[in-house]
């Protein structure tokens, strides 16, 4: 199993082969072969991957390689992240997030948990936009996404925000500024164009799909997604960001 898992992960694009074989991999394999509950082993795997510097996307793709090996008899398998069982994904993500959250004290322009820019960076970016064009409120807009975290609990809230952050990056992949405004709010600074309405609709659908896959994060949805017009001045825009993040 370990050999097939490694082969599948390497084929899927694992960046550093020498970093792949770790003790947590053996723990997961042992749990799977013994038909024991793999939850704790998957949490340790997520932690170990984060400590080694693997991103969440790379960690999840490696997990998908394991799932493909477990479910397909063929020696050559094709990892499919969307086919991952929700509990398998959740336990690994929790372990990964546990480590990354502890590292969050480092100064950075990026939220280490979601991979989105911080609210401070978005404020800086807005300042550049308002200096760049006198009609920023007409040329740009904010796409907002808010989760109802009051109906979720504990780590489920964190996992839900991580899932919708992935949806945001999938829909807005053209260099837009994506940022978190608060524990349950994300924003995208976008140029207004003829595709904006369609992209917002795609975000609603993709976010709903991400949250529906996991019963523990499903109460956080459906996510509210809308377009917010920018005010006339940068000072008003800064005040808007503060109010939206509450």
**DSSP structure class, residue 207:** H
Paired tokens of 39: 């939850």
pTM passes above 0.85 = no
Q: Where are the domains of the chain?
A: 2-102, 119-244
Distant-in-sequence, close-in-space partners of 185: CB < 8 Å, separation ≥ 6? 144, 145, 146, 147, 244, 245
Q: What is the DSSP string of 150-185?
A: GGS-THHHHHHHHHHHHHHHHH--SS-EEEEEETTE
The CA distance from 193 to 216, in Å, is 36
* pLDDT (0 to 100) of residue 47: 93
- Residue 139, H or E segment: helix 136-139
pLDDT in tens, 32-90: 999 889 999 999 999 999 888 888 889 999 999 999 999 987 777 888 988 999 999 99
* pLDDT (0 to 100) of residue 220: 58
- Can you name the CATH fold of 119-244? Alpha-Beta Plaits (3.30.70)
Reported as a pLDDT band with limits 50, 70 and 90, residue 19 is: confident
Closest CA to 158 of 209, 188, 114: 114
pLDDT in tens, 137-179: 889 999 999 987 665 555 566 677 788 888 899 999 888 999 9
Distant-in-sequence, close-in-space partners of 130: CB < 8 Å, separation ≥ 6? 136, 233, 234, 237
pLDDT in tens, 186-223: 999 999 999 999 999 999 998 888 877 666 666 556 78
Reported as a pLDDT band with limits 50, 70 and 90, residue 118 is: confident
- Min mean pLDDT across 1-10, 210-219, 234-243 is at 210-219
Is the separation of the CB atoms in 204 and 225 below 8 Å? yes
Burial profile 43-82: b = 16 or more Cβ within 10 angstroms, e = fewer:
bbbbbbbbbeebebebbbbbbbbbbbbeeeeeeebebeee
């Amino acid at each position: 199993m370990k050999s097939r898992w490694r082969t599948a992960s390497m084929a899927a694009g694992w960046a550093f082969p020498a970093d792949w074989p770790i003790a947590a991999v053996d723990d997961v394999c042992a749990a799977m072969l013994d038909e024991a509950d793999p939850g704790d082993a998957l949490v340790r795997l997520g932690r170990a991957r984060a400590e080694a510097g693997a991103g969440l996307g790379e960690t999840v793709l490696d997990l998908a390689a394991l799932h493909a090996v477990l479910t397909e008899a063929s020696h050559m398998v094709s990892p499919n992240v969307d086919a991952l069982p929700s509990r398998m994904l959740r336990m690994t993500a929790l372990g990964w997030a546990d480590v990354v959250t502890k590292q969050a004290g480092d100064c950075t322009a990026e939220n280490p948990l979601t991979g989105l820019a911080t609210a401070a960076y978005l404020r800086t970016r807005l300042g550049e936009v308002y200096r760049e064009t006198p009609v920023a409120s007409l040329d740009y807009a904010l796409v907002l996404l808010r989760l109802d975290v009051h109906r979720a609990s504990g780590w489920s809230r964190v996992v839900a925000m991580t899932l919708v952050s992935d949806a945001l990056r999938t829909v807005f992949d053209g260099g837009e500024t994506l940022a978190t405004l608060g524990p349950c709010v994300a924003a995208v600074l976008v140029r207004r164009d003829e595709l904006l309405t369609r992209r917002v609709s795609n975000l609603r659908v993709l976010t709903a799909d991400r949250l529906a896959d996991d019963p523990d994060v499903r109460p956080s949805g459906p996510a509210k997604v809308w377009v917010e017009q920018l005010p006339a001045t940068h000072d008003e825009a800064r005040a808007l960001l503060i109010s939206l993040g509450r």
